[in-house]
Amino acid sequence: MSKRLGWFLAGGLLVALLLAGVVSNFASGSPDGLDATAREGCTFNAQGEITGGTCMLQKEQDHQLSDSPLADYGIKGIDNEYLSTGLSGVLGVLITFAIGGGVFWLVRRRTPEKV
């Protein structure tokens, strides 16, 4: 790997870690497009519970991994919401970078050995 590529990858990883660790705490808490569409047709009370109507959200179920340590954009066991969200973002970036790097390492082009 060239020195330039190494600096580029390190810089990209640093930017991704900063975005995941810091900027993720400023993401909007409003429903996204899919959530807003799923809520159409229902009425809700102040706690966000469905009180009437018919909508896709009524069929909502917990995800199979809802009890995992990184569920709901946070880390279970950390009470500080900002720290939990930031650390889960950083951990997600590191895991993704490691898996991606491993895949690229496995499929890299190898030059034949000279005898």
Q: Tens digits of per-residue pLDDT, 71-90?
A: 888 898 999 989 999 999 99
For 23-59, write each residue's pLDDT tens digit.
888 887 776 888 889 999 999 999 988 999 999 999 8
Apex 63 CA angle, 62 and 69, nearest 5: 110
Taking residues 85-96, report their average pLDDT.
93
Are 93 and 20 in contact, with CB atoms under 8 Å apart? Answer: yes
Apex 26 CA angle, 75 and 49, nearest 5: 70
pTM of the model: 0.69
* Coil vs helix vs strand at 5: helix
* Coil vs helix vs strand at 56: helix
Instruction: Tell me the two tokens of residue 103.
Output: 């895949």
